[in-house]
Amino acid sequence: MERLALGVLISGRGSNLQALIDACADPTFPARIAVALSNRADAGGLDRAAAQGIPCAVVPHRDHPDREGFERAVDRVLRDAGVGLVCLAGFMRVLTPWFVGAWANRLINIHPSLLPAFPGLDTHRRALDAGVRFHGCTVHFVRADVDSGPIVVQAAVPVLPDDDEARLAARVLAAEHRCYPLAVRLVAEGRVRIVGGRAVVEGAAAPRGAALNPCDCASS
């Protein structure tokens, strides 16, 4: 089995990178990490990757006069590593239409909300402020508009009455660590097609019925 070569782009602690590293440690997983790349030399995730012998690259955005120059340097690293799928995992640079076009449908992102709700930053704070009963995370193909694009996998988690931002973020992050490897596996197995701007997943089961929150368990 030829395993899909991943390029994982990070800017920080890299817990989602770690989830992908753990998934790829299983020899039956259909992807492998060809390179972990950061725009910041101090990204903690690079240490996680280096500890596993995964090739690491640092492309500091400040070394380049403009966004596209930076992205061309990133693109070169990815192509040299033979990457077939780019996974953004807490990569804190907005990508230009040039880069998004160059990696069209081979570029996915994980975002800490149930998109299209709460694109952008501070998603957990905003979910609490809005009083939503469910929050979660999304893995989606990247389009030029920030936090938009065909959705591959989502996980919903309940928002609990005594949640603060940290508690809710931790619950969502645990879901992220399940979603990203699943999404990569589905893509690597060739089970995701993009049809009319939406991602269609072949042969995957979905939960039936509704989840309620609050569920008023006493009356059910």
Catalytic residues: 111
CB nearer ligand GRF, residue 30 or residue 45: 45
Q: Select the residue whose beta carbon is closest to ligand GRF and give its number.
A: 90
- C-alpha to C-alpha distance for 171 and 163, rounded to whole angstroms: 10
Q: Quick one: CA torsion of 65, 67, 72, 76, rounded to 10 degrees?
A: 100
- Interacting residues with ligand GRF between 167 and 196 (CB under 6 A): 173, 176
* CA distance linking residue 92 with residue 83, whole number of Å: 20
Residues binding ligand GRF: number (CB under 6 A): 15
Using the rule CB under 6 A, is 16 a contact of ligand GRF?
A: yes
Q: Which stretch binds ligand GRF (CB under 6 A): 7-15, 53-61, 126-134, 146-154?
A: 7-15
> Of these, 46, 83, 86, 110, which contacts ligand GRF (CB under 6 A)?
110
Q: Is 112 in the site for ligand GRF (CB under 6 A)?
A: yes
Q: Which stretch binds ligand GRF (CB under 6 A): 13-21, 74-82, 97-105, 191-199?
A: 13-21
Nearer to ligand GRF, 169 or 192 (CB): 169
The answer to whether 113 contacts ligand GRF (rule: CB under 6 A) is no
Q: Figure out which of the listed residues 7, 30, 84, 90 binds ligand GRF, where binding follows CB under 6 A.
A: 90
- 166 vs 16, 27, 67, 163, CA distance in Å? 17, 34, 32, 8
Kindly state whether residue 126 participates in binding ligand GRF, applying the rule CB under 6 A: no
Gap between the Cα atoms of 158 and 165, Å rounded:
13
Cα 108-199-171 angle, rounded to 5 deg = 60
Contact residues for ligand GRF, defined by CB under 6 A = 10, 12-16, 45, 89-90, 110-112, 137, 173, 176
